[in-house]
Structure 1
């Protein structure tokens, strides 16, 4: 399930902007959580490919709920921690 499909009853424009904001926040939070780790090292910890991590950190890719679930399990955090606009990530 893509993030865009979380909001099926909202207008397409609002839905697109909401998904883009979530993708941007996820990107920001992943970068903060990665800290000084290299992309290959962090991707391995997350169980995703380097290219997927690059796309997520660049907000170039909508992600699935399954990926969010995997990230929260690997990072021992909640989905809100990954997507919240006001979160301050520290590892």
Structure 2
């Protein structure tokens, strides 16, 4: 006696389709236990993932745009810090009271 024939997931039943069950019983073979106990498990298909090549490419493009924008913001920040440091240095040199010796 098999407990699962056909294998799970191999048979698809459409909505409204008639399901016909066929049982073969032989009185020649000795059987023990209950002869008429059976059950059918039916489940809906899982939804298919929406990942297509186009969505992956679009996602990759949007990630690339965000990365470039963050890189630009970081570059502007670094340039601003350097400009402030240079400005502070020039301002400080003038307040020393010393004059640069130029040749």
Check whether TM > 0.5.
Answer: no
- Structure with greater proportional helix content: 1
Structure-1-length-normalised TM-score: 0.29
State the TM-score, normalized to the length of structure 2: 0.26
